[in-house]
Structure 1
Amino acid sequence: MSIEAATSPFRLPLIAILRGIHAHEASAHVRALVEEGYDAIEIPLNSPDWADSIGTAAREAGPDLWIGGGTVLRQHDVEVLHGLGARFIVTPNTNPAVIRHAVQLGLQVVAGFATPTEAFAALDAGAQMLKLFPASTYGTQHVRALRAVLPAVPLFVVGGVTPLTLADFLSAGSAGAGIGGELYKPGQTVERTRQGARAFKQAYLESMP
């Protein structure tokens, strides 16, 4: 990478986002992702029966697997996720009360932001990682400018990132990416998820020096 980016706690810094997945489908898709080398999997809370999906995934997860909840807006949801065995949360904003509560419970927080002001607010609240959304709108120059002022924390790009654009975001200073609609759409087959995961992983490996 041309700009130093902080190392994420995930072995493969690609957060697989299964937005809209149903509880009876979750195990098979999570298993396919793990088989492809993914160790960070997010199920957003605007998915149907999200507690069942996350609880099942967390129970089946090995010690090296990170299962998390996304689109977390309330402190109560943080408590539910903690009880289910989730290890991290992803927020769409920088609500300091939600961030602090998650950190107090021992969860890692990937806080959503767009501007330097929001990023520093999230970090002041205790967030350990940041999520720029939507990355495709802001672009790589925005990431490069942010990296010049932000401390060495992992910055993930989310929203519109593809296997073809991933390398440019990594070169600009992102630690990795969250991949949602480009990886998984509700109702798709497990094989489709596997193929998408493989394409993103290959793009990431090819971008490494």
Structure 2
Amino acid sequence: MNRMTPLEKFTGAMHTLPLVAILRGLTPGEAAAIGDAIVQPGFRLLEVPLNSPDPYASIASMRDRFPDALVGAGTVLDARRVREVHAAGGELIVSPNFDADVVREAVNLGMVCLPGVMTPTEAFGAVAAGATGLKLFPAELASPAVVKALLAVLPKGTPLMPVGGITPHNMAEWRAAGAVGFGIGSALYKPGKSAVAVRESALEFIAAHEGTTPIPHVR
């Protein structure tokens, strides 16, 4: 059976649940349990920021455990780190900024790349370099109106995903402006949060995306 390419995984996730789980601070020892808590309910986009403890080990572990998910790294700041993520089995590169060398290296290696942008100059530069989609970061500095304005001038179909301060309660207004997905950080996972609690948060985000009410957890 042929495995899906990174782009096919990304495209599939964008149609089903376009939420990137940002697992900053994840340790290799908890990668399986936290991954299960997120993937089993439906997440398929998993990001381990490189300022986490031993991130390459976590990426390798999650890639093996969740072959149908798109697993990779965040806070990727240079082309060397892109190659290191690729060597660990990662297929996703996310950055807080736009660096053309990072985008081009990821594209050359067949990886999905989501650079961080805030201005039209950065957004158009990232698209020209070959970015798969754009991460609007930090979203706290922007607004749904910014999303609407950027999408009015960017190439039609450019995925724009706000990251920073996203909760189940404010997703609807961003989506109404045209955001097609989100990066979810500390509201989903932070160091010390149990797998059970992470799963509950994952279900809340999924319900918010689908416009439904999550089933209360029975304790």
TM-score (norm 2): 0.88
Q: Which residue of 1 aligns with 2:132?
A: 128
Q: Which residue of 2 aligns with 1:55?
A: 60
In structure 2, C-alpha distance between the alignment counterparts of 1:153 and 1:146, rounded to whole Å: 10
2:102 is aligned with 1:98? yes
- 1:23–1:53 CA contact under 8 A, matched in 2: yes
Q: Which residue of 2 aligns with 1:193?
A: 198
Q: For 1:14-39, what per-residue CA distance to the aligned partner results, in whole angstroms no more than 9, with x for missing partners?
A: 00110011110111101111111111
Give 2:80's aligned amino acid: H
Q: Which has the higher contact order (CA 8 A, sep 6+)?
A: 1
2:31 is aligned with 1:30? no
- 2:45–2:69 CA contact under 8 A, matched in 1: yes
In structure 2, C-alpha distance between the alignment counterparts of 1:12 and 1:86, rounded to whole Å: 20
2:18 is aligned with 1:46? no
Q: Which residue of 1 aligns with 2:91?
A: 87
Q: For 1:33-87, what per-residue CA distance to the aligned partner results, in whole angstroms no more than 9, with x for missing partners?
A: 111111111100010110111111111122x211010010111111111111111
In structure 2, C-alpha distance between the alignment counterparts of 1:116 and 1:96, rounded to whole Å: 15
Alpha-carbon shift at residue 134 of structure 1 (Å):
1.4
Give 2:62's aligned amino acid: A
- 1:21–1:187 CA contact under 8 A, matched in 2: no
Give 1:70's aligned amino acid: G
| Alignment partner of 1:76 out of 60, 73, 80 | 80
Q: For 1:157-182, what per-residue CA distance to the aligned partner results, in whole angstroms no more than 9, with x for missing partners?
A: 10001101001111100111000011
In structure 1, C-alpha distance between the alignment counterparts of 2:210 and 2:165, rounded to whole Å: 19
| Alignment partner of 2:121 out of 108, 117, 127 | 117
| Alignment partner of 1:13 out of 15, 18, 36 | 18
- 2:151–2:158 CA contact under 8 A, matched in 1: no
Give 2:66's aligned amino acid: A
| Alignment partner of 1:179 out of 180, 184, 187 | 184
Q: Secondary structure at the match of 1:153?
A: coil
In structure 2, the gaps of 5 or more residues are 1-9, 213-219
CA RMSD of aligned residues (A): 1.1
- 1:20–1:48 CA contact under 8 A, matched in 2: yes
In structure 2, C-alpha distance between the alignment counterparts of 1:37 and 1:72, rounded to whole Å: 25
Q: For 1:108-136, what per-residue CA distance to the aligned partner results, in whole angstroms no more than 9, with x for missing partners?
A: 10110001110011111110100001113
Give 2:169's aligned amino acid: L
Q: Secondary structure at the match of 1:187?
A: coil
Q: Which residue of 1 aligns with 2:71?
A: 67
Q: Which residue of 2 aligns with 1:4?
A: none
- 2:161–2:183 CA contact under 8 A, matched in 1: yes
Count of aligned pairs: 199
In structure 1, C-alpha distance between the alignment counterparts of 2:147 and 2:138, rounded to whole Å: 11
Identity of aligned residues (%): 45
